[in-house]
C-alpha cells in the first residue's frame, strides 16, 4: 500500500511538472529476425534484418544516464535466432544496479531456447541477477498454429511447456505464459484458459493493440474492437477474470483484468494505469535507436550519434514525451499500478459487486 501511494505521488508530480527521471527499466528488442508469422505482428514482413551489436551496446550502457537501471526486458523478433545471444547478456552486466533480466520467446526452437536459457542462467546466477521468461502461447492446437501462421507449431510449444513445468528452475527464476488476445483467438479464450489452468505458471493475458514497434499502429484488423462480437467476448472474459481473482492474494493481477475490462467497455479509451515509459523508462532497439515506449513513441535518436545527456539538454526527451502522451489514454500496454482514477474505479467496482450499490455507482461509471 505504501509503495502504491509513493508511486501515485511521484507519477502525479512528474506529470504535472514534466519531470523526467533516469530509467530503471529498459525494454530491448534485440533483433528484427523472427521465425513466426503472427497475424498480430508485422515485424517478420520487414525485409531488413539486424541484430544488436553487443560491443556497441556495452559502450552505450556505460553512460551515466543508465546508472539506475535495474531491469532489462529482452524481446525481438526472436532471441534464439541470434548467433551468440549470451554476448548480449554479458554486455548488460555493465549496468551496475542490474538485478533482473526478462526474456520473451515464441518457443519455436525449443531445444535452442532451453540450452540458451541454461547458459544465460549460469551467467546471471554468478552476478546475482534474476532471470525471468515469458513464453508466448496464443491458444490450443490449431488456434495457436493459426495465430502464429506456422503449421503444427503447437506440438513444439506444448513439449516446451511440459519441460518448463517440470524443471523451470534449471532454466530461469520466474516464468509466465503470455497470451495475446485478438479477433483470431478470442472465440476460443475459455478453452485456452482451461488448458492453461493445468500448468503451474502465471498466465498474463493482454490485448493485441496498435503498436509502432511491430508495425501494427496503422493496420488493426486483428483488434477485438474492430468487431462487436469479439469485443463482447473479450469484455466478458476480462470481467470474469476480474471477479474470480482474489483481491487479498493477487490485487495487482485483479487490477490488470479490471483495467482491460474498463478499456474495452469504453471502446478503447480510458487508461487506468500509470506508465513508467512516459516519464522514466526507455526502449532501445536492435539499431541502438532510443524511444520512450515501444507502443506509440517515435525514435528519439541513435545512441551512437548522440549521448542521452546531449538529447536531454536539447529537449528531445521532453518533446517526445509531449508527442507520445497524446496516445496514452487510448493505450492498454504496460498495465501495472493504477493511477488515481484507476484506484477509485477499481475499488468502487469491488464494493459495488459486493454490496450492489446500484444507482449510487452510476455517476462514476460515466467517468
Rank residues 184 and 346 by Cβ distance to ligand SF4 and give the closer one: 346
Q: Rounded to whole angstroms, how far apart are CA atoms 200 and 161? A: 10
- Draw the binding track, 129-158, toward ligand SF4 (x: CB under 6 A; -: no contact): ------------------------------
Rank residues 299 and 305 by Cβ distance to ligand SF4 and give the closer one: 299
Place of cell 489514454: 329
Question: Within 289-308, which residues bind ligand SF4 (CB under 6 A)?
Answer: 292-293, 295-296
Contact region with ligand SF4 (CB under 6 A), list: 26-34, 69-77, 218-226, 329-337: 329-337
Rank residues 334 and 346 by Cβ distance to ligand SF4 and give the closer one: 334
Asked whether position 208 contacts ligand SF4 by CB under 6 A, the answer is: no
Asked whether position 280 contacts ligand SF4 by CB under 6 A, the answer is: no
Contact region with ligand SF4 (CB under 6 A), list: 93-101, 115-123, 320-328, 351-359: 320-328
Among the listed residues 154, 222, 277, 346, the single contact to ligand SF4 using CB under 6 A: 277
Asked whether position 207 contacts ligand SF4 by CB under 6 A, the answer is: no
- Tell me if 207 sits within 8 A of 224, measured CB to CB: yes
199: which 3 cell numbers? Answer: 500448468
Asked whether position 331 contacts ligand SF4 by CB under 6 A, the answer is: yes
Among the listed residues 65, 238, 334, 346, the single contact to ligand SF4 using CB under 6 A: 334
Question: Within 6-35, which residues bind ligand SF4 (CB under 6 A)?
Answer: none
Asked whether position 324 contacts ligand SF4 by CB under 6 A, the answer is: yes
Contact region with ligand SF4 (CB under 6 A), list: 102-110, 136-144, 180-188, 272-280: 272-280
Minimum CB separation of residue 21 from ligand SF4 in Å reads 14
Q: Compute CA distances 92 → 71, 97, 169, 346, whole Å.
A: 10, 10, 22, 37
Size of the site for ligand SF4 (CB under 6 A): 14
Question: Within 153-192, which residues bind ligand SF4 (CB under 6 A)?
Answer: none
Residues that bind ligand SF4 (CB under 6 A): 271, 275, 277-278, 292-293, 295-296, 324, 327-328, 331, 333-334
Amino acid at each position: 500500500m505504501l509503495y502504491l501511494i509513493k508511486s501515485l505521488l511521484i507519477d502525479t508530480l512528474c506529470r504535472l511538472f514534466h519531470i523526467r527521471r533516469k530509467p530503471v527499466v529498459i525494454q530491448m528488442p534485440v533483433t528484427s529476425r523472427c521465425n513466426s508469422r503472427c497475424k498480430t505482428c508485422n515485424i517478420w514482413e520487414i525485409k531488413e534484418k539486424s541484430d544488436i551489436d553487443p560491443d556497441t551496446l556495452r559502450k552505450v550502457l556505460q553512460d551515466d544516464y543508465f546508472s539506475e537501471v535495474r531491469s532489462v526486458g529482452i524481446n525481438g523478433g526472436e532471441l534464439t535466432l541470434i548467433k551468440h545471444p549470451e554476448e548480449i547478456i554479458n554486455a548488460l552486466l555493465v549496468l551496475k544496479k542490474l538485478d533482473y533480466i526478462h526474456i520473451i520467446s515464441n518457443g519455436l526452437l525449443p531445444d535452442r531456447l532451453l540450452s540458451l536459457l541454461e547458459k544465460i542462467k549460469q551467467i546471471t546466477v554468478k552476478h546475482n541477477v534474476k532471470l525471468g521468461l515469458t513464453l508466448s502461447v496464443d491458444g490450443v492446437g490449431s488456434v495457436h498454429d493459426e495465430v502464429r501462421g506456422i503449421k503444427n507449431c503447437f506440438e513444439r510449444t506444448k513439449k516446451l511447456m511440459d519441460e518448463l513445468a517440470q524443471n523451470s528452475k534449471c532454466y530461469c527464476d520466474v516464468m509466465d505464459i503470455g497470451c495475446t488476445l485478438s479477433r483470431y483467438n478470442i472465440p476460443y479464450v475459455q478453452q485456452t484458459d482451461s488448458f492453461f489452468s493445468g500448468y503451474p505458471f502465471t498466465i498474463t493475458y493482454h490485448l493485441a493493440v496498435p503498436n509502432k514497434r511491430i508495425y501494427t499502429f496503422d493496420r488493426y484488423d486483428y483488434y477485438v474492437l474492430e468487431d462487436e462480437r469479439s469485443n463482447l467476448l473479450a469484455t466478458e472474459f476480462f470481467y470474469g477474470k476480474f471477479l474470480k481473482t482474489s483481491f487479498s492474494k493477487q490485487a495487482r493481477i485483479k487490477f490488470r483484468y479490471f483495467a482491460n475490462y474498463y478499456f474495452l467497455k469504453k471502446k478503447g479509451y480510458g487508461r487506468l494505469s500509470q506508465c513508467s515509459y512516459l516519464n522514466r523508462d526507455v526502449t532501445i532497439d536492435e539499431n541502438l535507436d532510443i524511444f520512450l515506449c515501444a507502443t506509440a513513441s517515435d525514435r528519439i535518436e541513435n545512441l551512437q550519434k548522440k549521448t542521452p545527456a546531449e538529447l536531454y539538454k536539447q529537449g528531445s526527451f521532453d518533446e517526445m514525451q509531449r508527442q507520445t502522451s497524446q496516445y496514452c489514454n487510448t493505450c492498454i500496454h504496460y498495465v501495472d499500478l493504477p493511477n488515481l482514477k484507476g484506484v477509485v474505479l477499481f475499488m468502487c467496482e469491488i464494493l459495488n459487486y459486493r454490496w450492489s450499490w446500484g444507482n449510487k455507482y452510476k455517476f462514476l461509471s460515466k467517468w
